[in-house]
Amino acid sequence: MSGRRSPVAARVTVLGSGTSHGVPMIGCDCAVCTSSDPRDIRLRPSIYVEAEGYASIVVDMTPDFRQQALRHRIRRIDAVLITHSHADHILGFDEIRRFNTMQGAAIRAYGNREAWDVLKRSFYYAFDGLPRLGGGVPQVIDIEVTAPFTVDGVQVVPLPVWHGQLPVLGFRMGRFAYVTDCSRIPDESWPLLAGVETLVLGALRDEPHPTHFTVAEALEAIDRIAPRRAYLTHMTHELGHAATSARLPAGVELAYDGLVLDVSVDVE
């Protein structure tokens, strides 16, 4: 990535803030799953970034992506950024077909090697080159992420982190960073988070988990990164919005589906 950096205004919409099960969970009658607070209804985790005049970018395409796209009237995708290949982050990948039709072009998709190994098996029909009848196949330009890159001028810095034993990616765009499924930030990635002003970070629950930050662990990371504001995402039904929000420190909030953040991204 080269060129001079200039900040421009962008808008981030939280399409989903829940875990792989979503909230409410099937068959659960707990207080959060039966809550009347709309902020306790959480689809699978994803965001939509719009830098007007430059690019519209989706980070992860969840099993709920069709519903999310309809709810938020998403009409364009210039690129898909893939954090990792777990089902709750990729099973909406086939919905790219509709955007291919509307835009008349293939869509760039970015992920690490581990993600592409799984995606190309799971969605083999999009990559094997064989002719198929019916509704067509997703047309993508698959790009393996090994360094910072640009999407129509928007500068994107991949943030390598660990999800248990799986290497996954967060993404930074200017002063905004999104890191969802994460249990450890390696030494080499902390400097990449320096100067972030708005951070969205995964915090599964209070009880320890082998592949995710707890709320306390996420707060420790936030304290080290020191953004101006931080939002927790990828939350289970064990974290009710109102009760959890009441015990968070100043500058930290729970994300919720439909939350819109005004941020600054770098363009060239």
Encode pLDDT of 26-63 as tens digits. Answer: 999 999 999 999 999 999 999 999 999 999 999 999 99
Task: Say if strands 107-111 and 79-81 run parallel, antiparallel, or are unpaired.
Answer: parallel
Residue 178: pLDDT band (50, 70, 90) is: very high
Task: Say if strands 55-59 and 229-233 run parallel, antiparallel, or are unpaired.
Answer: unpaired
Instruction: Report the half-sphere exposure of 15 (CA within 13 A, side-chain side).
Output: 30
Residue 1: pLDDT band (50, 70, 90) is: very low
DSSP code, position 25: P
pLDDT digits 0-9 by tens, 64-90: 999 999 999 999 999 999 999 999 999
Q: Considering only CA atoms, which of 235, 149, 157 is closest in space to residue 196?
A: 157
Domains of the chain, first to last: 6-267 (3.60.15.10)
> What integer is the mean pLDDT of 247-254?
98
72 beta partners: none
Residue 212 structure tokens? 């995710």
Torsion angle, CA of 93/70/16/224, rounded to 10 degrees? Answer: 90
Cis peptide before 160, with omega less than 30 degrees from 0?
A: no
pLDDT digits 0-9 by tens, 255-265: 999 999 999 99
Burial (CB count within 10 angstroms: exposed 0-12, middle 13-18, buried 19+), residue 177: buried
pLDDT digits 0-9 by tens, 105-120: 999 999 999 999 999 9
What are the angstrom distances between the C-alpha of 153 and each of 157, 188, 224? 13, 25, 30
Beta strands in the chain (DSSP E): 6-16, 46-51, 55-59, 79-81, 107-111, 140-144, 149-151, 154-163, 166-173, 176-179, 198-202, 229-233, 252-254, 260-267
Residue 18: what are its φ and ψ, rounded to 5°?
-100, -175
What is the DSSP annotation of 28-44? --STTTT-S-GGG-B-S
